[in-house]
Amino acid sequence: MAERDKSFTAKLLAQQTADPALQEKYRKELTDMLEVKIEGGRKAWGIVIVAIRYIISLICLFMFFFCPTIVGTYRYFHGILGVMLITLSVFGAVVIIKGVYKHRTHGNIGAAIVFYGSIGAWALLMAGGASNPLIATLGTGILLLGITKMVCNLIKQSELNSREQILKQEYRLAKTPLGQ
């Protein structure tokens, strides 16, 4: 960026008047957007969704463990779906208990859900069909997918941490008279 007179920029910005009522309305809408309050109808609806997910996950896991008539791929589908839904139910329940959903990036949570979900799916598959090469391959594939996702996330977080440290140093330097 070219060098410029920052005091002129500040003076120019000061020329812009704003209606306090409109500004207040904007701020309120922005806060509501960034921090979605889970209350009233939204809370009731959230509880219904979490409860439905939880019930379906329990049915799926019950069918996986206790219905010998369901066999093969169909059985494992129930097991994996059960694990995924129960993970999502726990996440949803935590948000409802907190009473507020704050927008943020969910890289760590997303990677953790995939990682632990893959371990759960792998355990289910191995418990029931480790002797079947197809099932064992499928289980190992899912586990590798979860591990890959977790490792990629760790690399990304590590890059962000390094960049953050560099920026902190640059910020300190820029604040010195030499930097300015």
Binding mask 52-71 vs another protein (x if CB under 8 A, - otherwise)?
A: --------------------
- 20, 33, 40, 177: which one binds another protein (CB under 8 A): 33
* Rounded CA separation 73/35 (Å): 42
Please give the backbone phi and psi of residue 100, each rounded to the nearest 5 degrees, phi first: -150, 140
Residue showing tokens 């890059």: 159
Q: Does residue 13 bind another protein (CB under 8 A)?
A: yes
Structure tokens at 37: 């309050």
CB 50 within 8 A of CB 92: yes
Number of residues located near another protein, criterion CB under 8 A: 46
Q: Does 105 bind another protein (CB under 8 A)?
A: yes
What residues numbered 120-159 form the site for another protein, per CB under 8 A? 157
Tell which one of 55, 134, 154, 174 touches another protein (CB under 8 A): 174
CB 45 within 8 Å of CB 27: no
Stretch that binds another protein, among 10-18, 63-71, 81-89, 114-122 (CB under 8 A): 10-18
Residue whose token pair is 């979605």? 36
Nearest to 84, CA basis, from 106, 52, 108, 116: 116
> Residue numbers of the site for another protein (CB under 8 A)?
1-6, 8-9, 11-16, 18-19, 22-23, 25-26, 29-30, 33-34, 102-109, 157, 160-161, 163-164, 167-168, 170-171, 173-175, 179-180
